[in-house]
Amino acid sequence: MRRLYPTLLLALAALPARAAIPAEQDSCLGCHGSDPTMTMDLPGAPGQDGKPQPEKLGLYVDQESFAKSVHGDMLKCTDCHTDKSDYPHDTKPFKTKRDVTVAFYEQCKKCHFSNYTKTLDGVHYQLAQKGNRQAALCVDCHGSHAIGHPGEPRTRVSSTCAGCHKNVAEAYGKSVHGKALTEGNSDVPVCTDCHRAHDVTDPRAGALSLRTADICGRCHTDEKLMKRYGLSTKVVDTYLSDFHGMAASLQKGKKGKGERLAAGCTDCHGVHNIMRPSDPTSTVLQANLVQTCRKCHPQATANFPKAWMSHYEPSMKKSPLVWSVQLFYYILIPFILLSLVIQIALHLWRVVVNR
C-alpha cells in the first residue's frame, strides 16, 4: 500500500485541474465561471464631494486558480457563500466591495477556529473594532479563491504585508534582512517572524520592543545559522547581562503603562531598517552611535558610547578596566569570605576545647 501512494499521487496530479472541483460547483460556475467581465454594480460610499462613488464587484471565479488553491478539492462554493444556495440569490444591501469582504470574512472561522481566535488578540482586529474598515481581515492577507499555503514561498509574506504597509516595506527592503530576502535567502526574518501572523502585537505600545531579545534571539543565538554569516551568538547574553537587558527583561511581562526605561535590540539597531553594523548608515556604527544613544540619553557626549561594550564580554583586550575590576573581585570575595569563615571556625573550636 505504502508503495502505491506515490503512484496514486502522481496519478492525481496528472488529472486536469478542473477534475478536482466537486461536481456541485458546476451549477455556480455555469454563470460565475464563464464570463471574466461579469460584475455587479454597487452604489458605493460617499466620496469627498459627498456623492456616492459607484463600484463594480467582480463576480467571476477563475476555476483553475481555485482548483489549485488549498481549498480546491475540499470546499463547495456554498460552504463559504452560505446564503447563495438558491437562485435567484438573496440580494444584500452592500454598498461597497469592502462591505462584501467584511460580511463574508467570518466564514473562515467555521473551520479555522484557533487562528480566528488568535486574530482577536491582534492589532488588526482591535483596529477593526474601533471602526477602521481598512484593517486587515483573513481574506486581505490570504486571498479568497486563490488561497495558497501560507508562507510559501517566504518572500510572499513580506509582499503581502507590503500591500498596506508600504513605508515599512520599503525600509525593510533596504535592510540587511530585506535585501537578503529579495536575493532569495530564506534564512532572514519576514514580517510574520517578528510580528506574528494572526495575533499581531501592536508595536506602538512598546511591549514588542521589550521582547526583542527573545524575538531576535531566536535566530541570533542559533549557532548553526549564525556560523553561516560569521555572526556572534553571544549578542543576547551580553545584552541580558547589561543594565538594558535586565530592565527590559523585568518589564516585558508587565502590562499597562509605566516608563519604558530600557532599550531593546531594535532601539539601537533599528526596526525595519536594520543594517550591517559596518554599513555607513547603520545606527550602531561607531561614528553614528552617539546619535543613537542620545535617543534615550540626551546628555550623551562622545565618550558615552564606550559605556556599552558592543556585545563583547569583558576581556583584557577589549575592556581592560572592566576586566581588571572583575578579576579583582573574583579573587577578593572568596579570599575574604574564606578568611572570615576560618576565623569563626577556629574561634568556635577554641570555645569548645576550653569547655
Partner 1 sequence: MSTHTAAAENQYIVRFTTKQRVEHFVTMIDFVGLVATGLPQKFYTARWAQGLIGFMGGIDNVRWLHRFFGIVLLISVVVHGAGAVSAILSRRVGFSMAVNKRDFSDVVQTLRYYLGLADHPAPFDRYDYKQKWEYWSLMIGNVIMILSGLTLMYPAVAARFAPGELIPAAKVAHSNEGLMAFLVISIWHIFNAHLHPDVFPFDACIFTGKISRERMEHEHPLELARLEGRPPPAAGHGH
**Footprint on this chain of partner 1 (rule: CB under 8 A):** 240, 242-243, 246-247, 249-251, 254, 258-259, 261, 297-301, 303-309, 314, 319, 321-322, 325-326, 329, 332-333, 336-337, 340-341, 343-344, 346-351, 353-354
- Cβ nearer to partner 1, comparing 102 with 309: 309
In the complex, the smallest distance separating the C-beta of residue 207 from partner 1, rounded to whole angstroms, is 14
The number of angstroms, rounded, from the C-alpha of 214 to the middle of its chain's C-alpha atoms is 12
Question: Which cell numbers hold the place of 102?
Answer: 467584511
- Cβ nearer to partner 1, comparing 113 with 243: 243
- Cβ nearer to partner 1, comparing 9 with 325: 325
- Strands 39-42 and 55-58, by their bridges, are antiparallel
Q: Distance between CA atoms of 218 and 211, rounded to whole angstroms?
A: 11
In the complex, the smallest distance separating the C-beta of residue 321 from partner 1, rounded to whole angstroms, is 5
- Cβ nearer to partner 1, comparing 120 with 341: 341
Q: Distance between CA atoms of 228 and 231, rounded to whole angstroms?
A: 8
Q: Report the run of H or E that residue 57 belongs to, with start and end.
A: strand 55-58
- Cβ nearer to partner 1, comparing 231 with 247: 247
In the complex, the smallest distance separating the C-beta of residue 259 from partner 1, rounded to whole angstroms, is 6
Segment 271-278 long-range contacts (CB within 8 Å, at least 24 positions apart) = 271/171, 271/203, 272/168, 272/171, 272/172, 272/175, 272/178, 273/171, 273/172, 273/174, 273/175, 274/175, 274/176, 274/177, 275/175, 275/176, 276/176
In the complex, the smallest distance separating the C-beta of residue 295 from partner 1, rounded to whole angstroms, is 12
- Cβ nearer to partner 1, comparing 228 with 306: 306
- Cβ nearer to partner 1, comparing 85 with 301: 301
What does residue 211 show for φ and ψ, rounded to 5 degrees? -90, 0
In the complex, the smallest distance separating the C-beta of residue 336 from partner 1, rounded to whole angstroms, is 7
> Alpha carbon of 343 to those of 168, 241, 353: distances in Å?
66, 35, 15
| DSSP H helices in 200-319 | 207-210, 212-220, 223-227, 235-240, 243-252, 265-269, 289-294
In the complex, the smallest distance separating the C-beta of residue 149 from partner 1, rounded to whole angstroms, is 39
Q: Is the peptide bond before 153 cis (omega within 30 degrees of 0)?
A: yes
Q: Distance between CA atoms of 197 and 25, rounded to whole angstroms?
A: 31
Q: Distance between CA atoms of 333 and 339, rounded to whole angstroms?
A: 10
Question: Which cell numbers hold the place of 272?
Answer: 525595519
In the complex, the smallest distance separating the C-beta of residue 344 from partner 1, rounded to whole angstroms, is 5
- Cβ nearer to partner 1, comparing 19 with 337: 337
In the complex, the smallest distance separating the C-beta of residue 117 from partner 1, rounded to whole angstroms, is 29
- Cβ nearer to partner 1, comparing 162 with 290: 290
The number of angstroms, rounded, from the C-alpha of 106 to the middle of its chain's C-alpha atoms is 23
